[in-house]
Amino acid sequence: MKQYEAGKYDVVVIGAGHAGVEAALASARMGANTLVLTLNLDTIAYMPCNPSVGGPAKGIVVREIDALGGEMARNIDKTHIQMRMLNTGKGPAVRALRAQADKVLYQNEMKKTLEQTENLTLRQGMVEELIVEDGVCKGVVTKTGSAYYANTVVVTTGTYLRGKIIIGELTYESGPNNMQPAINLSHNLTDLGFNMVRFKTGTPPRINANTIDYSKTEIQPGDDVPRAFSYETTEFIMDQIPCWLTYTGEVTHELINNNLERSPMYSGMIEGTGPRYCPSIEDKIVRFNDKPRHQIFLEPEGRNTEEVYVQGLSTSLPEDVQRNMLKTIAGLEKAEMMRAGYAIEYDAIVPTQLWPSLETKLVRNLFTAGQLNGTSGYEEAAGQGIMAGINAARKAKGEEPVILDRSEAYIGVLIDDLVTKGTNEPYRLLTSRAEYRLLLRHDNADLRLTEIGHRIGLISEERNARFTLKKQQIAEEIDRIEHTSIKPSDQLQEILGEIGSSPLKEPTSAAALLRRPEVTYDVIAKVVPAESEIDPVVGEQVEIQTKYAGYIDKQLQQVEKMNKMNNKKIPDAIDYLAINGLATEAKQKLSEVRPLSVGQASRVSGVNPSDISILLVYLEQGRIAKIAK
């Protein structure tokens, strides 16, 4: 194929999935002239698996993206069919929003946003090769011969790299949902010296809603109060569509057991590593054979389609088995299967080959994000996408990267885990991966990240002004209730009695009263109202920050300790092999990961505390040596 020079950009983004769109939008909005190449313009921000956004940890990522000026939150707010707040019975740190998406609307809306964004060019084309000179990425070449030059390149190819679909005995090269796979780009990355791994994921069959007997299932409605992911959303969709819950039964399990030898999982046809948190139904039955039934959630794919996603039934069994299997599930006896479930294998890059900025160590000016980095999930992809976009745009301008700390954002936890520890299965965010979970709440993503978003040019002055006001109101109200005394009175005891709280014996501060588990901010506002009305979102912050101050402080102290270690930078030129006393495993792992700070080094698996002590001594030695010169 003859190549021709097709254009020059500040940033080129390969792929327009959930990582690619955030990367491209961030980059363009920061003023970088950005090109997005996708192999199909009709599948921008496509959801090949479940039509849903958010949930524990993931939902918080969506809010973080919003606080940084990203798009996912706004887009789902405009296109969902249902929204629910999860974990409302638990503490504030683990509450999370989840939306069911109208799959097609979500894509259309996102495409429109990309099309209308300044500095952003959207084009169909399959990238087959990166232009790399002397270890620096200079651009990309497409299948049709167009060579685009760029200061920086972001690769977000999802599960397309050497993608292979497996259904029972059938396998063929394919991207998700029978789209074109990207074969040559994967070979190109290997040729450039990248270490790749083979991962696997899967999706369940889809069925026709008209053929479901809903009377045998339980309804799962959305919340009847307005909900939104974005801090900026003012219009709420209240016309919602429910999901439905049913179960597999013993007949289902027997059928699966009888057909196990036809399952590629057990016939050895699948070589990729699948995620434990997303097992296929056959996997669940083999590994947990004492469980009499498994949950199946029926999730509509949109307002203008009858297609229903059968959550819980991810499978790579042959098509005929899938059809029989559906018939064994309550309510699905007559269900028409519209698409079969399948497993997909793909190449991913070993993420310890990346700096925390998501730039590759091997090739400068090349960034990667999303499922290509070994993660799974739209939110995980989008979270990396926005950071890769930000850092690619900054690098194109010669600016320092933005790296979020583990104590600042789930996105920080996600990226730090990937580049420091790597992953041996598709990585999913869980709240338990965050050691400072109480700080990384869904309600305070704006307080954590808006200032960063503003500083890098993704948050407008207007929005920042609104945010600053909110922050100020929170501080003032906390201060007020700390210094407002409440005395026992008949009216007060009555209010306390109503909420099942014991009577107040001695005068106390409003804040102390708020620390009682059953007392909410609304009660305080009723007993000692502020001069002017307090916005409910401010009230929520006042309540959480006051009520859980003890626990929050404990975590802040841990963060402070860790920050001391994070602030001890490690020079890039360090030669771990030359440090006497480091354990062999530590030498190898540290040489591979090349952590930027002692804090990061301490999180590398296989590095123990005495290695860190030795490293500290070594670094100090270097510092003294430099002064001596």
Binding site for another protein (CB under 8 A): 49-50, 56-57, 86-87, 90-94, 204, 220, 275-279, 284, 287-288, 291, 294-295, 297, 311-312, 314, 421, 430-433, 435, 437-438, 517-518, 548, 551, 554-555, 561, 564-565, 579-581, 605, 609-610, 613-614, 616-618, 620-621, 624-625, 628
List, in order, residues 6 or more apart from 479 with CB less than 8 Å away. none
Minimum distance from residue 424 beta carbon to another protein (Å):
10
Minimum distance from residue 482 beta carbon to another protein (Å):
20
Q: Which is nearer to another protein, 154 or 281 (CB)?
A: 281
Minimum distance from residue 88 beta carbon to another protein (Å):
9
User: Which of these, 83, 589, 621, lies nearest to 352 by C-alpha position?
Assistant: 589
CB 183 within 8 A of CB 123: no
Q: Which is nearer to another protein, 295 or 591 (CB)?
A: 295
Q: Which is nearer to another protein, 68 or 81 (CB)?
A: 81
Q: Which is nearer to another protein, 289 or 472 (CB)?
A: 289
Minimum distance from residue 38 beta carbon to another protein (Å):
26
Minimum distance from residue 187 beta carbon to another protein (Å):
32
Q: Which is nearer to another protein, 80 or 428 (CB)?
A: 428
CA distances from 510 to 73, 401, 471, 535, 552 (A): 35, 44, 20, 18, 19
List, in order, residues 6 or more apart from 604 with CB less than 8 Å away. 420, 421, 586, 589, 590, 593, 595
CA distances from 47 to 139, 158, 462 (A): 28, 11, 33
Q: Which is nearer to another protein, 97 or 449 (CB)?
A: 97
Continuous segment of H or E residues that includes residue 385: helix 378-396
Q: Which is nearer to another protein, 112 or 276 (CB)?
A: 276
- Residues 620 and 387: their CA atoms lie apart, in Å, by 32
Q: Which is nearer to another protein, 532 or 580 (CB)?
A: 580
User: Which of these, 64, 124, 105, 14, lies nearest to 392 by C-alpha position?
Assistant: 14
First CA to last CA distance, the chain:
57
Q: Which amino acid is at 285?
A: I
Minimum distance from residue 20 beta carbon to another protein (Å):
23
Q: Which is nearer to another protein, 158 or 312 (CB)?
A: 312
- Residues 603 and 614: their CA atoms lie apart, in Å, by 15
3-state secondary structure 602-619: HHCCCCCHHHHHHHHHHH
Minimum distance from residue 177 beta carbon to another protein (Å):
16
Q: Which amino acid is at 538?
A: V
Q: Which is nearer to another protein, 214 or 277 (CB)?
A: 277
Give the β-pairing of 34-38 and 4-14: parallel
- Residues 382 and 440: their CA atoms lie apart, in Å, by 18
- Residues 197 and 277: their CA atoms lie apart, in Å, by 19
What angle separates helix 445-455 from helix 461-482, to the nearest 10 degrees?
A: 140
Minimum distance from residue 86 beta carbon to another protein (Å):
5
Minimum distance from residue 381 beta carbon to another protein (Å):
16
Minimum distance from residue 275 beta carbon to another protein (Å):
8
Q: Is 361 helix (H, G, I), strand (E, B) or coil?
A: coil
Minimum distance from residue 581 beta carbon to another protein (Å):
4
List, in order, residues 6 or more apart from 629 with CB less than 8 Å away. none
Residue 557: CA count within 13 A, CB half-sphere: 6
Q: Which is nearer to another protein, 142 or 555 (CB)?
A: 555
CB 406 within 8 A of CB 412: yes
